[in-house]
Structure 1
Amino acid sequence: MFTLIKRLYAPPPFATQIPDNQIDKTYKRYRLQIFLVAYIGYLSYYFVRSTLALAKPSLMGIQGKDAATQITGVYNTFSIQELGFLGAGLAITYGLSKFLMGNISDRSNPRIFLATGLILSAITNIIFANVFIFWLMMILMLINGWAQGMGWPPCGRLMTHWFSDGERGTKMSIWNTAHNIGAGFLGPIVTLGLVIFSYNYVGIFYAPAIISIIIGVGVLIFGRDTPQSVGLPSIEHYKNDFPSADVEKGIHDREIELTGKEIFFKHVLNNKFVWFIAIANAFVYLVRYGILNWAPTYLEQVKGFSPGNARWAFAMFEFAAIPGTILVGWLSDKIFAGRRAPMGIFCMIGVFVFILLYWFNPPGHPMLDISFLGIIGFLIYGPVMLIGVSALDLVPKKAAGTSAGFTGLFGYFLGTMGAEAAMGMIVQHSGWDGGFILIALSALLSILFLALTWNVHDRTKYNPHQEHN
């Protein structure tokens, strides 16, 4: 059985290279196709990851004033602390999975890997919608977290094999907007699901899950592995863009397959800069999810928002991030020559300021609340993206999934767990002011650890513009 699974997920062998006169046309077609697979595949992961955030008010028994849109079908209610523990359950297994499955994904077919996690996560959401026993809900959240960890690593593998070092900051910043498109459209999709299912609670989970299963099948059909698996040269040869030896840590053949031990101990755990960005990631994620995952609950409970308006504010946080993420990626490539930390620090300083404004804005000013939430979203995803790119920059590309998984382990295991469990406990016992103190301090600590990587990955030693278009 294990041998069969290993064979199913094994990367395909290199194909015979196609004629030179077909390479450019074929490469361009496949690069677009692979980018769309990674983009659409990953954005749909958010359809089935963030549903709990929108279900929290219903699970707490919070209802809007409009009787026609009140949600039915909730057979048990839970405290804010219990819901925080559920969110933390997903975060724990997601972080572990992203790290461990990242290592496996470095030696697996990303097409199969990406689709498997997405479809499993969707099925878990469908079951979760019908369960109201806390320990069963926790088991499902743990399973969902593990499935979610199968999303980023194969996408990281695809992006490092199909896009060169000199263009990766910009391309990854565009790809990273999949986070925002996925989570941003979740609000409207949930609203549509509630309408279709007559405002029954299951609509929050069913509509996103059905869409995700369909997209998972599409990933299986249109996904591919490396350029060499379809008869193309490596991206470094195609773009004439070879990273410097110091970044590669002595790996001169970037296509050489590394053992799991080499990846873990030589290229990830032994790299102090990977540790710095991983710790920074924990604090960035605590800020990101401390704001985002509690926004519907906070806005309804404290600021007096209706459930519908709270869902749109949740979406605004994500949609505002799209131009911010792209701009930050472009600036890190073109202005800072591949140095990711400076832009990340500037963004987190802005995040800190607008957290305070969002926190201290009194109820009765909904447009200001939405504006502050949108500006935080505009700024926070820049550091999220830049840390992800740094995880790829700092290791050989055959270790990309593991490095991304390692930073993700810190982000989700520590950051998101803090944003869920710690926030839930603090808010339950000390009120929302205590929760916002935790978020603000995390923003400051993220700045400190990003500063330790200020000059890392300076590409001024080679010209990133020497590439094909």
Structure 2
Amino acid sequence: MFNFFNPPAPKPRLSQDKIPAKYAQMRLRVFLGAFLGYAAYYLVRKNLSLAAPGMIESGLLDKASVGLAGSAISIAYAFSKFIMGSLSDRSDARKFLVVGLILSSLLMICTGLIPYSHTNPGINVGIIFGLMLLVGWLSGMGWPPCGRIMAHWFSQNERSFKMSVWNTSHTIGSGSLGLLVTAGIAIFAMLGWGDTWRAAFIFPSCVALLLAVFCWWALRDTPQACGLPPIDEYRNDYSAVKAAKGEEQKIPFKKLFVDYIFKNKILWLIALANAFVYLVRYGISDWAPVYLQEMNIMDASQSNLAFSLHNYAGVPGTIICGWISAKFFKGRCAPANVIYMVLVLIGILVYWKAAPIAQSLAEIFGGDPAAIGRTVVYTALCEIGFCIYGPVALIGIQALNLVPKNAAGTAAGFVGLFGYLFGDAVLAKIVMGSVANDNSLGWNATFWMFIVASLLATAFCATTWKREKQALSR
């Protein structure tokens, strides 16, 4: 079975006159495949959050059960992204991504088709928790093969910008999920197909299956598998980081983890930075609707709009961050990360102090302080969203730049483990939820967590500034 995932053997080299046209065609194809493939993974990850209101109303789950199941995805994904990364380095990226996407989609469809118990919600919790664990685990088959594809098809001095564009795929996927769920519910209601909340699981998953077919057509593991030269040879852009036994060979597991991961001090620093970046990313995003409504800053529709604007602002922010890295720092990621995290800190302070800022503006220029306050919050959340997703993308790219290409997936998984397990599941969900719920601490304490996390992320990124430059110029 595992032989199925083995990387394809190199094909005979095409004649020199055919290589430029073939390379241009295939680079566009694999980029679109990786972009839409990773976006499709986000069509089969957050479905429970959108199905939850209907399931709660039907008495199938309660809010605590929904939260428990949601954490199962984050925890499983954190470990899976790391472990699947090492497997993807030894596998055909095309098969790895497509198989994971198909299995995730089928599991989500099953989640929507199961006849849940109306008399014993505990059974429902167990079933959904188990399914979400599996979905979270399979989700780890998305990023690592994409990292492998980008490392093999795009050379070092262009990779930060190209991957920043690619990294917007998860924002596109998350936003599209809401639209697809809305469309699916309308279709279910029109056809009279019973519980419309089931559409949140089923309809987006069917779209993801269609995208998996496209990815199978579009993706190829390496240029050599298409009869093309390696990307660094084609672009005459050689990375300073190379494997001892050739970049296309499998690295033994022990050597892979010990020599290229655990002994890589810079990788540890950016992994720690990633944990605090993810605390800010998910802490701000996931808790914004609750905070804004509980503090009577916005109503439900306004806070949902703020949530959407925050996420979509990350698309141009990520692209510009990658452009800054490529244009001004020759593909180095640390300088751009430091700049963006300082801007994130400013946005957090404005977000926290929106009420007094609005009061001061109202006294100077006139107007309703509450309306001005909402504008300040929208602006602050857009700034944070614009800036936070740049470091999210570039830290992953930095991991790829600091290891050989045949260790790229493992490095990405290692850094992602810190982000999703410690930054997201532990700090942004469990710890922050407890702090916000504590009357003696409350929301002010959560903002201090954001401030400290931003400072630590900036500091850890800054420590890699010179080391990254030295590592990439050897």
Q: Shorter-chain TM-score: what band?
A: 0.7 to 0.9
The runs of 5 or more residues in structure 2 that have no matched partner are 190-194, 356-369
What's 1:426 paired with?
435
Native 8 Å contact 1:187 1:315 kept in 2: no
Deviation for aligned residue 1:304: 6.5
Native 8 Å contact 1:95 1:408 kept in 2: yes
What's 2:255 paired with?
262
1:126 and 1:450 map into 2 onto residues whose CA distance is 41
Native 8 Å contact 1:73 1:200 kept in 2: no
- 1:34-85 per-residue CA deviation (whole Å, 9 max, x = no partner) reads 00000010011112223345456667x6xxxxxxxxxx54533224xx5444
1:306 and 1:203 map into 2 onto residues whose CA distance is 26
1:251 aligns with 2:262: no
Native 8 Å contact 1:41 1:114 kept in 2: yes
SS in 2 for 1:328: helix
1:308 and 1:270 map into 2 onto residues whose CA distance is 49
Native 8 Å contact 2:350 2:376 kept in 1: no
More off after superposition, 449-458 vs 12-21: 449-458
Aligned residue runs from structure 1 range 76-95, under 5 A: 76-79=61-64, 83-95=66-78
2:58 and 2:150 map into 1 onto residues whose CA distance is 42
2:447 and 2:125 map into 1 onto residues whose CA distance is 27
1:159 and 1:47 map into 2 onto residues whose CA distance is 22
What's 1:407 paired with?
415
- 1:103-127 per-residue CA deviation (whole Å, 9 max, x = no partner) reads 0000111111111222222233334
Rg larger for: 2
What's 1:344 paired with?
337
Native 8 Å contact 2:105 2:209 kept in 1: yes
Q: Which amino acid aligns with 1:286?
A: L
Which protein is richer in helix relative to its size? 2
What's 1:195 paired with?
186
What's 2:92 paired with?
109
What's 1:439 paired with?
450
1:338 and 1:307 map into 2 onto residues whose CA distance is 42
1:372 and 1:201 map into 2 onto residues whose CA distance is 33
Identify if the C-alpha distance between structure 1 residues 147 and 323 changes in structure 2 by more than 3 Å, giving closer, same or farther: same
Native 8 Å contact 2:239 2:472 kept in 1: no
Identify if the C-alpha distance between structure 1 residues 343 and 270 changes in structure 2 by more than 3 Å, giving closer, same or farther: same
1:115 and 1:296 map into 2 onto residues whose CA distance is 34
What's 1:184 paired with?
175
What's 1:235 paired with?
231
1:214 and 1:73 map into 2 onto residues whose CA distance is 31
1:289 aligns with 2:264: no
TM-score by length of 1: 0.87
- 1:416-438 per-residue CA deviation (whole Å, 9 max, x = no partner) reads 11212222332333443343333
Deviation for aligned residue 1:183: 1.7
Residue number among 8, 22, 36 corresponding to 1:40 in the alignment: 36
2:180 and 2:417 map into 1 onto residues whose CA distance is 29
The runs of 5 or more residues in structure 1 that have no matched partner are 62-71, 464-469
1:273 aligns with 2:266: yes
Deviation for aligned residue 1:311: 4.1
More off after superposition, 116-125 vs 265-274: 116-125
What's 1:123 paired with?
106
State the identity %: 42
Native 8 Å contact 1:84 1:421 kept in 2: no
- 1:121-157 per-residue CA deviation (whole Å, 9 max, x = no partner) reads 2233334456563333322221111011110000001
Deviation for aligned residue 1:166: 1.3
What's 1:451 paired with?
462
Native 8 Å contact 2:42 2:170 kept in 1: yes
2:473 and 2:34 map into 1 onto residues whose CA distance is 28
Q: Which amino acid aligns with 2:4?
A: L
Q: Which amino acid aligns with 2:100?
A: G
TM-score by length of 2: 0.86
Native 8 Å contact 1:183 1:315 kept in 2: no
How many residue pairs get matched? 443
Native 8 Å contact 1:161 1:235 kept in 2: yes
- 1:143-195 per-residue CA deviation (whole Å, 9 max, x = no partner) reads 11101111000000100110011111111111111122112323333333333
Deviation for aligned residue 1:302: 4.1
1:170 and 1:243 map into 2 onto residues whose CA distance is 16
Identify if the C-alpha distance between structure 1 residues 448 and 457 changes in structure 2 by more than 3 Å, giving closer, same or farther: closer
Native 8 Å contact 1:83 1:424 kept in 2: no
Native 8 Å contact 2:80 2:140 kept in 1: yes
What's 1:67 paired with?
none
More off after superposition, 217-226 vs 192-201: 192-201
Deviation for aligned residue 1:87: 2.9
1:358 aligns with 2:366: no
SS in 1 for 2:196: coil
Deviation for aligned residue 1:266: 0.9
2:53 and 2:353 map into 1 onto residues whose CA distance is 22
Identify if the C-alpha distance between structure 1 residues 462 and 271 changes in structure 2 by more than 3 Å, giving closer, same or farther: closer
Identify if the C-alpha distance between structure 1 residues 410 and 42 changes in structure 2 by more than 3 Å, giving closer, same or farther: same
More off after superposition, 376-385 vs 358-367: 358-367
1:166 aligns with 2:157: yes
